[in-house]
Amino acid sequence: MTESTAKQPPRRGRIFPERTLSPEELAKRKAEDEEFDRRCRAIFERVRPDLIKEHYGWYIAVEPDSGDYFIDVDKEVASQKARQQNPNSIHFMFCLNETGTTGRI
């Protein structure tokens, strides 16, 4: 009969502790994300009433720096249009409906 080996204790802590972000850096990133969301939402709320009549349920990709937006039935195509026009920018995806949400939780 063979003996079983001792069970290794589970390791605790981060895999890469040197890559831990400080609370200040986390707060800064959260503030930047909220500002980006606010700028995108402002553009979306401005164009939504006009577009929702003809394109309900379509997707809209908003690029806040230039104010451009791109719509399509398919989410991936709208995203691709935004990347082609502004390749070095980040865009935000909304759905043309009452809330702007693109999915379900």
- Sequence spans of domains, the chain: 22-95
| Structural contact between residues 95 and 58, judged by C-beta atoms closer than 8 angstroms | yes
Structure tokens at 76: 């991936």
| Structural contact between residues 36 and 55, judged by C-beta atoms closer than 8 angstroms | no
Q: Tell me: the pLDDT tens digits for 11-66? A: 777 777 778 889 999 999 999 999 999 999 999 999 999 998 999 999 999 999 99
Helix, strand, coil percentages in the chain from 3-state DSSP, rounded to 5: 40, 15, 45
pLDDT for 1 equals 59
